[in-house]
Amino acid sequence: MTTAEEAAWLATQRPSRVREVQAGRLAWTEIDLLDVESGSARPLRDALEVFGVRVNYLPVGQPRHLVAALDGSRPIAPYVLLACHGDEGRIIVCEELADELATFQPFNGSLGPAEVRAHVRLPGSTVIVTGCDTGHPDLAEAFLDAGATAYIAPREAPFGYASVFAPLMLFYELTEQRTLPQAVAHLRAHDKELAMWELFQRG
């Protein structure tokens, strides 16, 4: 089968970004997946790869790992997914760190708006956060100030497996060629737990 014949055949198939992978691309997009002691990042990685997404798995064992991943010193993927816990508008980061390590961290305990503005640089990335209460407008604004084009997170505290399902449904919708606002709208319409996720963007 020639390239032209393959393209013609793919055009007859159900529309999906996965067709790009079928046509020879290694992935149709890329995610930096930061595992901030969430317990769900590895299953998320496996599932997201099914959608034809390249996943860069980055375990975070101390706050400076998060900074090293997101401070702009390395290429940042188009999507950044923080699998984490949250509380009152902050991302919890390695709370129980030994004193010997805590002394040398850029911050300790949690990542809030001030820490994001000080340490995070995300030029053009879409940020997705799974932690409870991380959809606070102040935290969203900080990520947008740091260069993110969009920020998606729950305003309240969805039950545990909703935080696993939300990014999967979001990327299902994106793989189905929905726009980001359409994908988030479908996510929020699913049920009251997923309705907690908010999309923040600037005009």
- Who contacts 201 (Cβ-Cβ below 8 Å, separation ≥6)? 144, 149, 150, 151
Q: Where are the domains positioned within the chain?
A: 27-159
What pLDDT, on the 0 to 100 scale, is given for residue 69? Answer: 98
- Who contacts 63 (Cβ-Cβ below 8 Å, separation ≥6)? 93, 94, 97, 105, 106, 107, 108, 111
Structure pTM?
Answer: 0.94
- Band (pLDDT 50/70/90 cuts) for residue 160 is confident
Residue with tokens 């299902």: 172
Distance CA 112, CA 110 (A): 6
Residue pLDDT, tens place only, 20-76: 998 899 999 999 999 998 889 999 999 999 999 999 999 999 999 999 999 999 999
- Band (pLDDT 50/70/90 cuts) for residue 145 is very high
Q: Which residues of 152-176 are buried (b: 16+ CB within 10 A; e: fewer)?
A: bbbbebbeeebbbbbbbbbbbbbbb
Contact (CB, 8 A) for 194 and 188: yes
Residue 98: is it exposed, middle or buried by C-beta count within 10 angstroms (0-12/13-18/19+)?
exposed
CATH 1.10.10 fits 27-159, yes or no: no
Strand partners, 68: none
Rg of the chain (C-alpha set):
18
Residue pLDDT, tens place only, 106-116: 999 999 999 99
Inter-axis angle of helices 160-175 and 180-190, nearest 10: 140
